[in-house]
């Protein structure tokens, strides 16, 4: 990395490096695993998904789990794999904020492509019982935006973890724990209160699930006689609520990226 290169030029150079690595390493194979995961979920989602309350909540939870797994797996080894290169180039002028910005742009592009794969497969496999109307946009596009934000937020979380650990083996060891926290603290499997509920507010899974349920108009699926189930305001099918949920997911992605870049400045200390 040239010492005289400015931050924007360094960002461009790093981004071009990421794109070359995608081509040389046949990164397109990632889409095969994304498609396989989504097809498996589509096979088990019942006919009541997007029509019945419980089935829709369960289907939304499965899709959130898949998107988080896809996102974290995208980047969990990215930085720790390049740690020695980063340390060497940082000493010769690499701007670490530019490095992280390039990776976030690259991961955003990858996440967008993966979200397209996910939403198209879900749309095809649920063609006769998919959401009929969205809140802000056509339902397929609206669901795709939510999938993208979930995947990208999880991707940024993977970058953060990768900037903390020192080896790929450690990263893959930490990955299951990160997934478990997201799944358990989503509020779908267990009813949360106290400290667990506070932790749940910091998870991608909770707000991603709410965004999917908002687009699916899940609160409208509640029927008379289901008194033990209350309509959740955070799953309301309103423009203001959905925009707030999207904003939270985008904030998570930005916050994880900033933290990862800040932690990278400790790279010279090993």
pLDDT digits (tens, 9 = 90+) for 98-143: 999 999 999 999 999 999 999 999 999 988 889 988 899 999 999 9
Closest Cα to residue 151, out of 69, 252, 56? 69
Burial of residue 259 (CB within 10 Å: 0-12, 13-18, 19+) is: middle
Backbone Cα Rg of the chain: 20
Cβ–Cβ < 8 Å for 192, 200: yes
Burial of residue 19 (CB within 10 Å: 0-12, 13-18, 19+) is: middle
Residue 205 lies in a domain: yes
The C-alpha atoms of residue 145 and residue 142 are separated, in whole angstroms, by 5
How far CA 152 is from CA of 3, 77, 122, 181, 187, in Å, comes to 31, 15, 18, 17, 21
Record the pTM: 0.92
The total domain count for the chain is 1
The C-alpha atoms of residue 242 and residue 211 are separated, in whole angstroms, by 6
Long-range contacts of 160-163 (CB under 8 A, 24+ apart): 160/256, 160/257, 160/259, 160/260, 160/263, 161/72, 161/76, 162/75, 162/76, 162/77, 162/78, 162/79, 162/80, 162/81, 162/260, 163/79, 163/80, 163/259, 163/260, 163/261, 163/263, 163/264
Positive/negative CA dihedral, 247, 249, 250, 251: positive
Residue 43 lies in a domain: yes
pLDDT along the chain (270 residues), means of 10: 70 91 88 94 87 89 94 90 84 87 95 96 90 92 96 95 88 90 82 81 92 92 62 86 96 94 74
Residue 2 lies in a domain: no
Closest Cα to residue 33, out of 1, 3, 74, 93? 74
Q: pLDDT for 227-244, tens place per residue?
A: 556 778 888 889 999 999
Residue 227 pLDDT? 55
Residue 22 sits in which domain range? 7-220+230-269
The C-alpha atoms of residue 203 and residue 121 are separated, in whole angstroms, by 26
Residue 109 lies in a domain: yes
Residue 3 pLDDT? 47
Residue 1 lies in a domain: no
Residue 131 lies in a domain: yes
Residue 41 pLDDT? 93
Residue 26 lies in a domain: yes
Residue 35 lies in a domain: yes
């Amino acid at each position: 990395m040239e010492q005289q290169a400015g931050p924007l030029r360094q960002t461009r150079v790093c981004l071009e490096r990421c794109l070359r690595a995608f081509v040389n390493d046949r990164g397109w194979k990632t889409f095969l695993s994304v498609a396989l995961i989504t097809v498996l979920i589509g096979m088990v989602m019942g006919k009541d998904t997007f029509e019945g309350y419980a089935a829709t909540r369960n289907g939304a939870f499965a899709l959130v789990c898949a998107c988080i797994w896809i996102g974290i797996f995208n980047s969990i080894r990215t930085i720790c794999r390049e740690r020695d290169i980063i340390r060497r180039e940082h000493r010769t002028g690499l701007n670490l904020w530019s490095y992280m910005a390039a990776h976030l742009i690259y991961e955003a592009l990858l996440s967008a492509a993966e979200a397209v794969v996910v939403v198209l497969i879900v749309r095809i496999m649920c063609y006769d019982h998919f959401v009929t109307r969205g809140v802000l946009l056509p339902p397929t596009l609206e669901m795709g935006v939510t999938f993208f934000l979930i995947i990208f937020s999880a991707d940024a979380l993977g970058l953060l973890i990768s900037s903390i650990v020192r080896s790929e083996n450690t990263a893959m060891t930490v990955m299951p724990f990160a997934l478990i926290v997201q799944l358990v603290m989503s509020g779908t499997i267990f009813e949360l209160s106290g400290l667990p509920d506070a932790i749940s507010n910091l998870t991608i899974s909770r707000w991603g699930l709410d965004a999917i349920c908002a687009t699916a108009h899940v609160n409208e699926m509640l029927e008379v006689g289901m008194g033990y189930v209350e309509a959740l305001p955070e799953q309301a099918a309103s423009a203001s609520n959905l925009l707030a949920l999207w904003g939270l997911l985008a904030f998570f992605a930005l916050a994880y990226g900033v933290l990862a870049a800040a932690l990278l400045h400790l790279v010279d200390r090993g």
